[in-house]
Amino acid sequence: MIEETFAAPTLQDSPFENPQQLIQANQITQTLTPSGRYADAVSMTQGMTRDMKHLAHQAKVVGELLSTDAYYSWKQGGTQIEGATVALANALRTEYRALATSCDIVKDEGTKVHLRARAIDLVNGVYEERDFVMSRRPAPGKFAKKPEERDRWDTLQMQVAQSKAIRNCILRILPAWMVNTAIRAAKEAASSNALKGKPLDEVRDQVIKAFTDSGWSKDQLINHVSQPVESWCLDEIVKLRELYRRVQLGEIQSEVTTEKPPEMFDLKKKKK
């Protein structure tokens, strides 16, 4: 079972647009059977085969197109945490085809919600089931002012949690080589796009300024990449770009807070 403390949600991470799509706890049937759920879909995929070489090629293309949106990477407790995003899992699922998913609410305790996600490969019958526990956070800022905004916040939290739970199942069924190929291609694309022909010193200065405007100190950045500023190269720049993206989404906060909203971290902009 995976337990995560919920971070600020983004609609990009959620395939659900209609709050009514959320599954209510009193609608859950405890005796669900995978074969019964997907019987019609299984009949439609009889005789279907997959071209492994084509999938390897498509995984590389998907990774290149998503670039930094394909993976997450940050430092926690001295360990670098990395993995595939919801966006990458969904994109690879589309290429893999015939992969059905579902997600139910097992128990809603108010502050914590226990979800159970399922995925089944309709071609070869591989089945995966994973539990996921989300800790609800109180509605912040504007979301806390009105009841309807608080409800919207709770809905967004649930949507993101469902997406992550389903992602975990998808990644357990997809071939590891397919996921790794996509992430490797994404990192290569991110590295090649990091400098855009600019001098490395100029890019370093832009990175530091962008984080400083968002309340981060230079020492925090050095700690994140475990390298002094003068040693920052492509790898460090890419890691910091990913960190800044998470800062913008509200998933990570600096120890130093600021009322000024973070500006878009765009290395394409010319330094003024």
Taking only the tens of pLDDT, the chain with its 272 residues reads 544 444 444 434 444 344 333 334 333 333 445 556 666 666 677 788 999 999 999 999 999 999 888 998 776 777 778 899 999 999 999 999 999 999 999 999 888 999 999 999 999 889 999 999 999 888 887 778 888 888 888 888 899 999 999 999 999 999 999 999 999 999 888 877 777 777 888 888 888 999 998 889 989 898 888 888 888 887 788 888 888 887 887 777 665 433 333 343 444 443 44
What string of DSSP letters covers 76-114?
A: ETTEEEEEE-HHHHHHHHHHH--EEEEEEEEEE-SSEEE
Report CA torsion sign: 136, 133, 5, 112. positive
Q: Note whether 67 and 193 are within 8 A (CB).
A: yes
Residue 185 counted as domain residue: no
Are both 118 and 10 inside the same structural domain? Answer: yes
Q: What is the rounded distance in angstroms from the CA atom of residue 231 to the CA atom of residue 158?
A: 41
* Residue 25 and residue 160 in one domain: yes
* Res 42: pLDDT: 67
Number of compact structural domains in the chain = 2
Q: Are 63 and 189 in contact (CB under 8 A)?
A: yes
The pair phi, psi for residue 248, each rounded to 5°, is: -60, -35
Residue with tokens 């305790």: 109
The confidence score (pLDDT) of residue 39 equals: 65
SS3 48: coil
Do 55 and 90 lie in one domain? The reply is: yes
Tokens representing 131 are 């539990």
Query: Containing domain of residue 95, as a range?
Result: 2-180
Residue with tokens 């914590």: 112
Report yes or no: 260 and 213 within 8 Å, Cβ to Cβ: yes
Q: Are 41 and 120 in contact (CB under 8 A)?
A: no
Alpha helices by DSSP H, the chain? 34-37, 39-44, 52-66, 86-96, 147-173, 176-194, 200-213, 218-225, 234-248
For residue 142, what is the DSSP state?
G
In a domain, 186, yes or no: no
Q: Are residues 108 and 235 in the same domain?
A: no
What is the model's pLDDT at position 96? 96
3-state secondary structure of 121: strand
Q: 190 lies in a domain?
A: no
Q: Judge if pTM exceeds 0.85.
A: no
CA dist., res. 211 & res. 213, Å (int): 5
- The answer as to whether 158 is a domain residue is yes
Domain final position from 180, 209, 224: 180
The whole-number pLDDT of residue 263 equals 40
Considering the domain boundaries, does residue 188 fall inside one? no
Say how many C-beta atoms besides its own lie within 10 A of residue 108's C-beta.
16
Q: Examine the domain organization and report whether 34 and 165 are in the same domain.
A: yes
Based on the domain organization, do 120 and 220 belong to the same domain?
no
